[in-house]
């Protein structure tokens, strides 16, 4: 299934907005039969590192820790959002390695 971020806005600048969107996604996935979700960034103008970290980074950590009951993929990210995601993954990987 597709999770269209543009339904929630086009500017995401805070960590708390990442938390809100994550909650909405998890709620949807609880009810969905499909066990794979595409998180679509098409139409997103701005997404800060903290937003991306709270949404995609958190899903990544849960996946690595085997506590995520579905698979996910982020699609249609612009270059800046892609770089934000790489930084989030880098930080989370180093935490996971240290743990």
Angle at 54 between CA 49 and CA 60, to 5 degrees: 100
The distance from CA 37 to its chain's CA centroid, rounded to whole angstroms, is: 11
Touching another protein, residues 80-99 (CB under 8 A):
80, 83-84, 87-88, 90-92, 94-95, 98
Q: Which of 1, 2, 7, 16 binds another protein (CB under 8 A)?
A: 16
Sort strands 2-4 and 36-40 into parallel, antiparallel or unpaired.
parallel
Query: What are the structure tokens assigned to 24, written together?
Result: 């909405």
Residue 77 engages another protein in binding (rule: CB under 8 A): no
Would you tell me which residues interact with another protein (CB under 8 A)?
A: 9, 11-17, 45-46, 48-51, 53, 57, 61, 78-80, 83-84, 87-88, 90-92, 94-95, 98
């Amino acid at each position: 299934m597709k999770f269209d971020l543009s339904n929630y806005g086009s500017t995401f600048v805070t960590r708390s907005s990442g938390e809100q969107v994550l909650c909405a996604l998890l709620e949807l996935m609880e009810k969905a039969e499909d066990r794979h979700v595409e998180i679509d960034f098409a139409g997103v103008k701005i997404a800060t590192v903290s937003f991306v970290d709270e949404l995609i980074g958190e899903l990544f950590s849960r996946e690595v820790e085997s506590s995520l009951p579905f698979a996910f993929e982020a699609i249609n990210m612009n270059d800046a959002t892609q770089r934000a995601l790489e930084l989030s993954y880098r930080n989370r990987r180093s935490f996971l390695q240290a743990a």
